[in-house]
Amino acid sequence: MSDLPRLTAAEAAARLGVKPESLYAYVSRGLLTRERDATGSSFDPLEVEAFARRRRRSLTASPGGRAPGTPLMVLDTGLAHIVDDELLYRGRSVARLAREQSFEQVVMWLWRTDALRPPPAGDIAVASRTIASLGEAASPLDRMLVAVTALAATDPLRDDPAPEQLTRIGARLVTGLPAALCGDGGTGPVARTLWRALAPGSRVDAVQGARVVDAALVLVIDHDLALSTLAARVAASARAPGYAVVTAALGAFDAPLHGTASRAAAHMLRAVRDGVAAPAAIARAVRDGGRGIPGFGQPLYTGTDARASVLLGLLRDAPGSAEVLAAVDAVADEVARRADARPNLDLALAALTLWADMSDDAGSVIFAIGRTAGWISHAMEEYEQRPMRLRPRGRYVGPPAE
């Protein structure tokens, strides 16, 4: 038997979303292979992942078929869209925006405002103290969530229903959250403040590091209608204020299939960088996560996720990135060969955090800060629609009344 980590029958069935009987039917039909020993059957994680991807494509292509993840609704938006595998914000190339403009410049353009005014120093201090009260066990997103609440509590206009309050609140959040996480009382450009918060002991030059973080913030602002963005729009549909919109979005964002996916990708890359063979690291990540290969696959693109291409390209031009990118390439080559999947944003964020000597959780913070600008943008769109239009109706399928 191979010495690579393998999936048990139960793990393979769970990954495919089928019953064990169906799994063994695939084996009998020659669609999957298994190895058997005294402990039972086991499966190659990458073979299972490749089969899962083929199966999803087959379900999507079948007449009347509906693969997992098929949208329940379609909402009009004038923000992000993808054309020929290129991500655009209001018709402008995001790759160019990330390379040529700062996060603040892009946000002001999206929000049609001329300034992003940070909260007063006293409000940031309250948010920093609230974060500090959580202790070291709190996750980065726990810290962000309480900081949003603290910035709301110190804002006397938090419940003002005027639409223009969304941009004012959004500015308080995208500038104030990095400052609160930093905890040193300083403000300044968002990327530089976030760099101080996430990479205080990094060997990377701070100016160079902040520049790459700045580009990452631009790249993650919006991307079709992600679950967290839908949550933001649902809250905005009820005319929730900006703080509540972002809080609702963070609830959906803080999930391993969405906002925190880069954590597992970072752990996998770290193992390869530290000497673990790429096949073993990938197999272990698939087995331990149970959700596919972390950092790979994005159904909105036919090839590599456009955001990953830009961010990994910037890292290739950055000094001191060779070791991390060697790990990226080793993993990407193995996954392309065995599972026909391409890198996504999560792998690029993981590479950024590894290069910058950040924690494995740091990618989710960068993602959430940048996406906050997108959530506010969507709230602005939703405020222009009929209130409560996103309140669905349920269809009862339980037992009949007695």
At position 230, the amino acid (one-letter code) is L
Give residue 19's pLDDT: 87
The sheet carrying 7-8 orders its strands as 7-8, 40-43, 35-37
Give the pLDDT of residue 57. Answer: 63
CATH classification at residue 54: 1.10.1660
Closest of 46, 267, 243, 12 to residue 147, by C-alpha: 243
For residue 54, what pLDDT band results from cuts at 50, 70 and 90? confident
Q: Provide the number of structural domains found in the chain.
A: 2
> Does a structural domain hold residue 297?
no
The domain of 210 spans 80-258+361-383
Check whether residue 38 and residue 91 sit in a common domain.
no
Torsion-angle region of residue 240: left (phi > 0), alpha (psi -120 to 50) or beta? beta
Quote the pLDDT of residue 58: 59
In the structure, what pLDDT confidence band is assigned to residue 64 with cuts at 50, 70 and 90?
very low
SS3 state of residue 25: helix
Query: What is the spatial distance between Cα 59 and Cα 57, in angstroms, rounded to a whole number?
Result: 5
Q: Is residue 389 part of a domain?
A: no
Which residues, 6 or more positions from 78, have their beta carbon under 8 angstroms from its beta carbon?
A: 90, 381
Same domain as 107, residue 206: yes
311 in a structural domain: no
- Judged by DSSP in three states, 42 sits in strand
**Residue 274 DSSP code:** T
Mean pLDDT of 259-270: 96
Q: Which residue has the higher pLDDT, 191 or 338?
A: 191
Looking at the fold, whether 132 and 161 belong to one and the same domain comes out as: yes
pLDDT at 70: 53
31 and 92 both lie in a single domain: no
Q: Is residue 38 part of a domain?
A: yes
Please answer whether residues 111 and 375 qualify as being in contact, where contact means their C-beta atoms are separated by less than 8 angstroms.
Answer: no
pLDDT cut 90: percent of the chain above it: 72
Query: Average pLDDT, whole number, for the chain?
Result: 92
**300 domain residue, yes or no:** no
Between CA 321 and CA 204 the distance in angstroms is 9
Q: Are 267 and 364 in contact (CB under 8 A)?
A: no
Distance of CA 169 to the CA centre of its chain: 22
> In the structure, what pLDDT confidence band is assigned to residue 65 with cuts at 50, 70 and 90?
very low
174 and 96, same structural domain?
Answer: yes
Is 298:309 a contact under the CB 8 Å cutoff? no
Give the mean pLDDT of 102-111.
Answer: 98
Do 56 and 86 lie in one domain? The reply is no
pLDDT at 4 over 80: no
Are 11 and 154 part of one and the same domain?
no
Does 397 map to a domain?
no
Q: Is residue 56 situated within a structural domain?
A: yes
The total of other beta-carbon atoms located within 10 Å of residue 138's CB is 15
Mean pLDDT of 372-401: 93
Q: What is the DSSP letter of 353?
A: H
What pLDDT score was predicted for residue 274?
97
Domain check: are 142 and 192 in the same one? yes
Q: How do residues 187-240 score in pLDDT, each as one tens digit?
A: 799 999 999 999 999 999 999 999 999 999 999 999 999 999 999 999 999 999
Highest mean pLDDT among 26-40, 240-254, 289-303: 240-254
Task: Determine, yes or no, domain membership for 373.
Answer: yes
Chain CA centroid to CA 287, Å: 21
- CA dist., res. 13 & res. 8, Å (int): 9
Judgement on whether residues 229 and 195 belong to the same structural domain of the protein: yes
- pLDDT digit string, tens, across residues 137-190: 999 999 999 999 999 999 999 999 899 999 999 999 999 999 999 988 777 999
> Are 171 and 98 part of one and the same domain?
yes
CA angle 379, 385, 391 (to 5 degrees): 85
Q: What per-residue confidence (pLDDT) applies to 72?
A: 62
pLDDT surpassing 80 at residue 262: yes
* pLDDT at 327 > cutoff 50: yes
Measure the CA–CA gap between 396 and 363, rounded to whole angstroms.
40
Taking a C-beta distance cutoff of 8 angstroms, is the pair 211, 359 a contact?
no
Structure token pair of residue 10: 């139960």
Question: 242 and 98 share a domain?
Answer: yes
Residue 113 maps to which CATH number? 1.10.580.10
Same-domain check for residues 121 and 228 = yes
1 pLDDT higher than 50? no
